[in-house]
Amino acid sequence: MAELALGVRLAFPSGRRGWLRTAMATAGVAIGAAALLLGASVPVMLDARQARMEARADSVAGVEVPPGETLIVAGVESQWGSNAVRGRLIWPESPGAPLPPGVPAFPGDQQMYASPALRAALAGPDGETLRRQMPYEVIGTIAPSGLSGPHEYAYYAGYKRAESLVGSGSWRVDRFGYVLEGERGPGTYVVVAAMLATLLLPVAIFIGAALRFGADTRDRRLAAIRLVGADSRAVLRIALGESLVPAGLGLAAGTLLYLVVRGRAADLRLFDVSVFPADIRPVPVLALLVVAVIVALSAGMTLLGFRGVAVEPLGVFRRSTVWNGRLWWRLLPLAASLWLLQPVLAGAANPDEDRAGLGVVLLVIALIPLVPYLVPLVARVLPGGSASWQLASQQLRQNPAASTRAVTGIVVAVTGAIALHTFFGAASVRRATPDNPADPAYVLQAPGRQTPAAMRERTATFEQVDGIRAGTVAKYILYGGRDATGTGYLVVGDCATLRQIATFDRCADGDAFVQGDTGRTVTTLDTGHIEPTPGTKVAVPAGARPARFVGTDAQGVNVGLLLTPSIVPASLARAEPWFVETRMYEGDDAPGTAAGQLRGLAAEIDPLAQFTAIAPEYDKFASLRVALNLGSAVILLMMGVGLLLDVASRLHDRRRLLGVLAAVGARRSTVIWSVLLQALVPVLAGLALAIGVGVGLGAVLMRMSQVPVLFSASAVLAPVAVGSALVLATTVGVLLPAARRVTTTEELRYE
């Protein structure tokens, strides 16, 4: 105990190097601790979010609630920029109807309670356009208890007309709070664990570098203590006590960092998900575990540092460890990861995602033992020529572990960055356009019957928006018998619009087209019933010519009939279609706000009409990419500083040798070059490995999520460029002057 205390006392350093060492180690521990605490908060976060969603859940799927103390609800799911908008149109059937959580009272007809984020957006630029989607008078704010997160766009609007729509757009609820089907599997934990592992790895390497920096002063100190009578175990305890200081300070700083991040959590959004700071709490057991892990980690790294080291009263002796250059065990993690990834690589239809995820993490970890093997290999393979390279390659081969420690972190970080960048780059490329080029960008599906003139008017309404081309058809599903829900469509529309849906030779009003063997008549499905019910019988016109449905409409169509308005029989014109569909194509000249404008126009036609964006109106991964860039920047920065510390301390260790070399007449440039090569060759070899594995990993991720495998040079080269820039800055900025200093004979005289 006294020794631990003495160690703690000793860890408060004197001198610049000592302070730097403690500060770096503390910073590393702090970042690690904050990350771990955030990780430990994820389960609470997810639970809280789930609880919030369940508390307001109003989906009574399949159950018909009889009228009574009930509320009529209609859902309006919409989108504004990158934000989903959750709208509910409500109308109480009795004063005892259930109030939605977070809403103080029922809003009157055409009045609404809006979430703070929505209110801010309505007050912001383009707020007028957004307003058209929800043209209700704002009379209050939804409290946090009714929201999934602080940035959620949500509103509850009073809407008397919902009364008349029960069964066709609205439904009754007798309470709020239905259990939602489990959204979160164990997979979430695997992902969180994987993220933490990949984050902690560079952090641990960084802490290791910080601790090694200035290890020589610690050695001298421990030897001095040994001389006055500490036995070897006491010295170990003192060293452990020393390591507790960065651990303790780091934990404190990390907790502070965590609290800062938590406080700013309300400003953060990822995947359109925002979290209330109050919902970010570590699971108590996990928080304790974090403390234990940090303490154990720093103690473990200290003990590891004493492996093969004898602290004697007359000095510290390092047993020179024999370099184990055997390859096979270094390949084990790689082999294991490839085995785990095998289904993905083989192109299995439904690979087990948890298994594949584990394989991906393992692939990154597999790099760690490979880098120290790669470096002496490169050193051996590169042709020996200049004296400086001979010197450098000798050092690299003799002690590859020392020369590659810091590099490993960079390799891992760059590999991860390349993989994720390529993956999200490809994913966002894919999602920016509809899967099928024949499909429109947006579709409005509104219930009710429309005259051809009204359909044309609706088309014209949407074509007011710049760059939008539209077309409106009435769609019926064809009745396929008692057991089938439908076999195809009957579509009524003008020639121009029908061309969007199917291919045929030519078209004039009065034409009809047919796909497949319809027989003489077709029957529409009456969609007003739960059981398949036949609707109107329609004779297939004698002059109908063949056509083929295209795009998404072609899926599941065996038979189909396309009619221009003037050939529509009177019986069909009176029948209620499945819905009237307006298809909107977005030209390149469409403004960025087009989607918002179209949604507003759609809401004015019918707030309950279904408006669907086939292609998302925004880059879904933008926020994730920002987070990713930030994360890789932080990690790379840490790695850069770690590399710097490592190189500086190795230079410090070898200054005598270098000084001797300089003194016996080796040219200074030779010595300096050898130092530079020693630092640079491992980095270059490591970056080459990172490109290879990173690209492979990106391909695996793309395959896993069925994104077409596609690489952009920038996604690969950006992390490499950042990594190289860091290394270059380190070498040129720090190593070069240091090497100069060491090779002047001044230093030698002191020795």
List residues near another protein by CB under 8 A: 2-3, 6, 9-10, 12-15, 18, 217, 220-221, 224-234, 312-314
Q: How far is the CB of 14 from another protein (least distance, A)?
A: 5
Of 74 and 230, nearer to another protein (C-beta) is 230
Task: Report in angstroms how near the CB of residue 221 gets to another protein at its nearest.
Answer: 5
Nearer to another protein by C-beta: 221 or 330?
A: 221
Q: Is the dihedral of CA 690, 370, 296, 17 positive or negative?
A: negative
Cβ(716)–Cβ(691) under 8 Å? yes
Rg (CA), the chain: 34
Whose Cβ is closer to another protein: residue 1's or residue 179's? 1
Instruction: Write the burial class of residue 14 (CB in 10 Å: 0-12 exposed, 13-18 middle, 19+ buried).
Output: exposed
CB of 301 to another protein, least distance (A): 20
Q: How far is the CB of 9 from another protein (least distance, A)?
A: 7
Please state, in angstroms and as integers, the Cα–Cα distance from residue 523 to each residue in 476, 538, 566, following that order: 10, 6, 19
CB of 228 to another protein, least distance (A): 5
Query: What are the residues whose beta carbons fall under 8 Å from the beta carbon of 484, sequence distance 6 or more?
Result: 532
Question: What is the nearest approach in angstroms of another protein to the Cβ of residue 361?
Answer: 41
Q: How far apart are alpha carbons 473 and 577 in whole angstroms?
A: 10
Minimum distance of another protein from residue 19's CB (angstroms): 11
- β-pairing, 502-503 vs 488-492, is unpaired
Task: In angstroms, give the least distance from the CB of 229 to another protein.
Answer: 3
Burial 488-497 (b: 16+ CB within 10 A, else e): bbbbbbbbeb
* Closer residue to another protein (CB): 235 or 356: 235
Distance CA 467, CA 387 (A): 68
Q: How far is the CB of 314 from another protein (least distance, A)?
A: 6
Give the distance, in angstroms, between the CA of residue 308 and the centroid of all CA atoms in the same chain: 43
CB nearer to another protein: give 230 or 420. 230
Cα 50 to Cα 449: distance, rounded to the nearest angstrom: 40
296 Cβ contact list (under 8 Å, min separation 6)? none
Are residues 540 and 493 in contact, defined by beta-carbon separation less than 8 angstroms? no
Comparison of 220 and 740: residue with beta carbon closer to another protein: 220
Distance in Å, CB of 268 to another protein, minimum: 42
Q: Please, what is the minimum distance in Å from the beta carbon of residue 311 to another protein?
A: 11
Nearer CB in complex with another protein: 18/400: 18
Rank residues 313 and 616 by Cβ distance to another protein and give the closer one.
313
Give me the least distance between CB of 394 and another protein, in Å please: 22
- DSSP, collapsed to helix, strand or coil, labels residue 475 as strand
User: Could you give the 3-state DSSP secondary structure of residue 87?
Assistant: strand
What is d(CA 494, CA 295) in angstroms, rounded to the nearest whole number? 74
Choose between 234 and 301: whose C-beta lies nearer to another protein.
234
- Closest contact distance (angstroms) between CB of 738 and another protein is 22
Among residues 222 and 366, whose Cβ is nearest to another protein?
222
Phi, psi of 738 (to 5 degrees): -65, -45
Residue 696 and residue 299: Cα distance in Å, rounded?
36
Closer Cβ to another protein, 211 or 366, answer by number: 211
Q: Which is nearer to another protein, 177 or 315 (CB)?
A: 315
User: Closest distance between another protein and the C-beta of residue 123, in Å?
Assistant: 59
C-alpha distances out from residue 76 to 88, 148, 363, 450, 698, Å: 6, 16, 44, 22, 37
Antiparallel, parallel or unpaired: β 111-114 and 137-141: parallel
Sign of the torsion angle spanned by Cα atoms 663, 666, 671, 674: negative
Note whether 560 and 551 are within 8 A (CB): no
Question: Residue 397 carries which side chain, given as an amino acid letter?
Answer: R
H helix runs in 56-143, sequence order: 116-123, 127-131
Please say which residue, 227 or 622, places its beta carbon nearer to another protein.
227
Q: Pick left, alpha or beta for residue 541 (phi over 0 → left; psi -120 to 50 → alpha; otherwise beta).
A: beta
Q: Rounded to whole angstroms, how far apart are CA atoms 659 and 657?
A: 5
Taking the least distance from each CB to another protein, the nearer of 193 and 215 is 215
| Terminal CA-CA length for the chain | 38
Closer of 16 and 520 to another protein (Cβ) = 16
- Helices 655-663, 736-743: axis angle to 10 degrees equals 60
CB of 215 to another protein, least distance (A): 14
